[in-house]
């Protein structure tokens, strides 16, 4: 199972990189807080969720999340294609 995510998938935006120097960016571990608990935070990184390594997040649950994201991307692309076909039909 591929656990790698891209920075945009984690919610990374150009604004965030502007807040760091190059040295800070190279040394930083970029992570997204996915849950907050009394005992700490649950983080998701480009390398995969830190919680899986600690046994706090089921790998199957992450796989389902990634599958849902892929399905949403396909559905958005399909919707865009349908809209384009409608525009072409109206133009005729």
How do residues 61-82 score in pLDDT, each as one tens digit? 777 767 877 787 787 778 788 8
2 against 7, higher pLDDT: 7
Cα distances (Å, whole numbers) of residue 47 to 6, 10, 44: 9, 11, 8
Q: Which two tokens stand for residue 90?
A: 């109206």
Longest dimension (CA), the chain: 62
CA distances from 29 to 8, 44, 74, 83 (A): 15, 10, 30, 40
Residues 49/42, Cβ–Cβ less than 8 Å: yes
The rounded distance, in Å, linking the Cα atoms of 38 and 85 is 51
Mean pLDDT within 14-38 = 82
Share of the chain above pLDDT 70, in %: 79
pLDDT of residue 14: 86
């Amino acid at each position: 199972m591929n656990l790698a995510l891209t920075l945009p998938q984690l919610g990374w935006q150009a604004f965030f990189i502007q807040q760091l120097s190059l040295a800070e960016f190279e040394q930083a571990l970029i992570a997204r807080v996915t849950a907050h608990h009394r005992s700490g935070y649950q983080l998701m990184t480009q390398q995969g969720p830190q919680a899986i390594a600690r046994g706090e997040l089921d790998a199957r649950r992450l796989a389902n999340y990634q599958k849902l994201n892929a399905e949403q991307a396909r559905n958005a692309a399909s919707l865009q294609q349908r809209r384009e076909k409608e525009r072409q039909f109206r133009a005729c």
